[in-house]
Every structure is written in structure tokens, then in C-alpha cells.
Structure 1
């Protein structure tokens, strides 16, 4: 006889009915909390197979006194670096049998930070991973309770004590600038991503490389994370006479910078070389293809999840984890400077 319910997903009571046992007995078989006879276990297992019953892992975790949800707090989920890091967290969480909940902090105001943190703390959390990529992330990290297991994806050891996955923004900015100088450029202009309340490692590395080489440090051009802000920065750079090389705080900014330069009669890379940061999937498809400092954001996210699980389970191990160093991918957007430099004005 086929006991499978036709109109709904089978539940624990259906398994108990088909197996001829009580609901608590089925629960004991699923959780392993109390020993049951082999005969009873087989009856329950056979009923589960017949019904196609799928245990609710979240409910089982609560029965065991273990939360099964990992929270992610981020200032954005649409930018490449944020999205790829979240991908790494989710994939690692799924492999560990954990659910993921994401809360976006709309702004760095006290009200928005508190609203996001309160919303997250209303969930049955095993712990929280904070993407400390911006001011929203930094302030949300400070607002979380000390009793909650926390892992942070960040480029700094500054701030509250927490397990950290560190990526080396400083090295990336330094090496990208050194590469442009090695091509023969006299200096490198920088279009900066927003600060998280402290100097960006990318900016510090850029400045350090210029000072070490005894080169002029140009005024920083500010942008947000978007290609549109890069375009507006590119309009400024197109009118400066000494611009032959530009380092952009991320690839999307670099896309906008290149578009503005090209619309103003400048060739990339013949007149101006451009380097991005992060290795966005579109970087290789852009025209010209973008030279960039690549980072493995997916690995960053996975490492953060592993650190959080280790803290939750009280495992020994390092409090921090380092990601693979950013590495330069040379494509078509960089070249030695043209004789005579840029020296052009906006058309």
C-alpha cells in the first residue's frame, strides 16, 4: 500500500504513522539523542524512504541545541567583491549543513546600523560574518554583542577583537604602482574607493611605492564603487597634462575611467595606461582588456566560514587566516608611455 501523502510534503507525523511508532520515537532516530533498537530504526528508515521524507535540518539543529544559521552583514551585495565573497561563504556553509541569512546596512548612520544589527540578531544565529569593506561594515562590527561568534573579512587588524580573514590591499596597491612605474611612467594617478574610516590599504600602498621611487604623489581623485563615478573621475583626469598612468580602486571604476578618457580623444593604453583592482569577470572582455590586481574573493568567504565554525565549536587554531596575495594580471590596458606624455585637454 502506498502511504505517501498526495497533496503535501510529508512531515514527521507521516513517518511515525507509516512506521507504526510515535513521533518522539522518529525524532530520537533522526537526532540520535536516545538509543533505539535496530528493528525500530529500520522501520523508521523504511518509512522515510517510502515517503521521500526530507528532515528539516534547522529543526534538527534546534533539537540538538545547535543553531544552524550564519548571518552575513554587508554594506552592499551588488558589487563584484561583495557578491563573490558572499558566494564563498554560502558554498562553504552549504557544505557544512548551515543556512545563510544576509542583512544589508543601507548607510553608516547610527539608525541604519542599529536597524540592520537588530534585524540580524532576531534570527537563530550560529554566528555572524561581517564584510568590513566599508564604513557600514566597520560600524556594524562594532555594534555586534561580544558574546556572539564573529568572523570578519577585512584588510586590517584594527578594531574590535574577532577572528579575521585578511586580504593584502596594501601589497596590491604597492605592486600595481611599481608595475606602472617599471613601464616608464613618471607618476601614477589614483582614483580611490570610499574609505572605511581608516586609510585604504590600496591608497597607502600606492603612495608608498611613489615615495619610495622618489616620484610626485598626485592628488587623489575620489570615487564611489561604481563605473559612473569612475567615468566622472576620468573626465577630471582627461584634462590634466601629466596623466599617463592611472590606478583605479576597483575594476568598475577603471571601466568608467577608460570610457571617459576615450570619449575625450585619449587612447588606452597609448596615451594613458589604466590598472584596476579585483579582476571583475568583465575585465577580460572590456576594450581594451583591463590589467588588474586579482583577488580570490570566493576563497575569502570560504575561509571566513571555516573560522566561524571553528570558533563556534571551540576548536583550537589560528585567530586569523590570510588569503592568497593579490596578483597582477597584465592585459591590454597598460603600455610604456608615449613620447611627450598626455598633455591634452577635454574636447
Structure 2
């Protein structure tokens, strides 16, 4: 900094103000200092500045798995939103959500020095880990949950499910079958419960629930079972990957979509429009989820009041070519 000050003909204090973006520096002086920095190859010492300010410009992200489409897209959105705010992201995957694993992740984040933590993990997994989350670091949890101990940002699972079910009923289908996600997932349970409630409110029969594990393979296996049900003319799949396997199974079984069976997915993954046929699905706004997670984390970090409650990001139905009125109706 002293070398830059000598070359620019200013004080070290002025160099410091330029480095920190202080508004009191005139534009001509700022340009003079920046030219000197560039000529000397000067870079502000971010570690030293962080220690001085007590702010590291870094958000830590702990997550359980990167195999989930939702987790990957949420992480991508968090990274983009953090970058827009001038923050970096440090990622720490936890292979198994145990007390030891979670404690280790928080310890490592503490050693790496982060200003806030975003946890991409369903709350029941946090509870199962019996972890006392640190109280001196702002924490926001992404994913589904009903716990009020943490600030939670989630998409509207119930609203999206109801839109899917009512779309199929409005087309004239007598009822809607459901290909659910794994029972240990809160999101899967919430969608399955909303599906059943929507049918009962319309006084429709509730078919036996068929369960998958979020993968296309499980959707294919479930699809072979559903194809053998002659009364099955409409299916709501709990995610798009299972819907992909479901489409293949129905095709192989000679029950074309949507002529014989209508299918609605959930997520609106980037490839959903390229399925055969293109998939009608429920769009989750992962970009908005990531933005709100970062915003809530930064608000807490700055001492602004943020209630410990759930924020629901709205979903929307995306109509494509995998749904139609049942055969014999127009």
C-alpha cells in the first residue's frame, strides 16, 4: 500500500479508501490510485481486510446430496445470488446426516471463516442428526420442513400439487393416480398428502399410492404397474425424473401418453420440454429460492429482523403435450 501511495503521490490512507470504495475520494484521485495499483500489480489483502472488518464475504453451504436435481439447482441459484451481492460460496457436502457429520461440517466452516450458513437439507434430517446449530452465525435452511426453530425457504409444495391434480380433473379424468417420492422425504410426503386431500375435496376415489425413489428407473418400474391398471387414465408424478421413466413404461405397455394416459410431473427440469411427449409439469422457481436464501442470510448477518418462519415461493403449472381429456372425450 505504501508503494502504491508513493507512485500515485497520495497518502496510504487515500489508497485504503480507494480499496474500500469510500465515497469521499474524488474520481480523479481514484483513477490515479487505480492506475498505480495496476502498474504495481497490487491486490488488497482480503484476509487482512476480513479480520479488520469482522466480515469474510463468504457464505457457507452445507448439503446432504448433490444427486438431487432440486439441490443442484438451488445451489446454482445460491452461488449466482451470492456473487451478485459480492460474496463467495464455500460448499461442504455431508455424506450422512449424523451428529458427527454435521458437527464436523460446522467445525470446518468455522475454520474456513464464513459470515452465514445455508443448509440445503430437510429439517427432519437435521433433527435426526441431533445437532445444536451454532447460535453466533446466521443460518437459513432450504428444503421442506415444519420446524419453527430455523428460518426456512421452500417452494409451495401443496399449491403446486393441487394445481396438478385439478388440471387433470378439469380435463375430465375421474380420478388421479400418484407416483410418490420416498417416504423419508418431507417434500414427497407433503405432495402425497396434498394429492389425497385434493381428491377427497372433489369427492373422487383415492387410488392406491405407488412409491418411487425420485429416479427415472423407479418411475419406469412403477409405470409398468400402473399401465396394468385399466382405470388409470391420469397420473401425477412427484418429480420429473420419475415421470420420464413413467412415460417410457407406458409407451412400452401400449398405453400412449396422452391418448390413453395423461401425466403431470413436478420440478420443470430443463429437459422436461424435450421428453416425448413434452411434459406438463409444476415449475419450481429455484432461482427465487436461492435469492431468498441469500437475502435472508445477509439480512440476519446485518442485524435486520428476520422471523424464524417459512417462506413459500409460488409454483406454477406449465402446460405441454403430456395431458389431454380421457379417451372418448373432447
- What TM-score range do you get, normalising by the shorter chain? 0.7 to 0.9
- TM-score (norm. length: structure 1): 0.81
Structure 2 counterpart of 1:4: none
Deviation at 1:106, TM superposition (A): 1.8
Deviation at 1:265, TM superposition (A): 1.8
Q: Aligned match of 1:84 in 60, 67, 73?
A: 73
- TM-score (norm. length: structure 2): 0.85
Matched, 1:230 2:219: yes
Matched, 1:312 2:301: yes
Q: Deviations over 1:246-278 (max 9, x none)?
A: 111111111111111112222011111110011
d(CA) in 2 for partners of 1:185, 1:40:
72
Matched, 1:172 2:160: yes
What secondary structure sits across from 1:125 in the alignment? coil
Structure 1 counterpart of 2:229: 240
Structure 2 counterpart of 1:217: 206
Aligned residues: 327
Structure 2 counterpart of 1:125: 114
Label 1:259 to 1:32 Cα distance change in 2 as closer, same or farther (>3 A): closer
Matches within 5 A, 1:1-347: 15=4, 30-31=19-20, 44-133=33-122, 136=125, 139=128, 142-156=131-145, 158-194=146-182, 195-196=184-185, 200-316=189-305, 319-320=308-309, 322-339=311-328
Contact 1:192 1:203 in 2 (8 A): yes
Label 1:256 to 1:210 Cα distance change in 2 as closer, same or farther (>3 A): same
Deviation at 1:76, TM superposition (A): 2.4
Deviation at 1:282, TM superposition (A): 0.5
Q: Deviations over 1:191-217 (max 9, x none)?
A: 122333587321121011111112222
d(CA) in 2 for partners of 1:174, 1:40:
60
Contact 1:173 1:204 in 2 (8 A): no
What secondary structure sits across from 1:122 in the alignment? helix
Structure 2 counterpart of 1:7: none
Query: Unaligned stretches of 5+ in structure 2?
Result: none
Deviation at 1:120, TM superposition (A): 3.2
What secondary structure sits across from 2:272 in the alignment? coil
Label 1:67 to 1:165 Cα distance change in 2 as closer, same or farther (>3 A): same
Give the RMSD, CA atoms, in angstroms: 3.4
d(CA) in 1 for partners of 2:276, 2:102:
39
Contact 1:130 1:141 in 2 (8 A): no
Query: Unaligned stretches of 5+ in structure 1?
Result: 1-11, 341-347
What secondary structure sits across from 1:190 in the alignment? strand
Label 1:32 to 1:298 Cα distance change in 2 as closer, same or farther (>3 A): closer
Label 1:248 to 1:117 Cα distance change in 2 as closer, same or farther (>3 A): farther
d(CA) in 1 for partners of 2:128, 2:11:
50
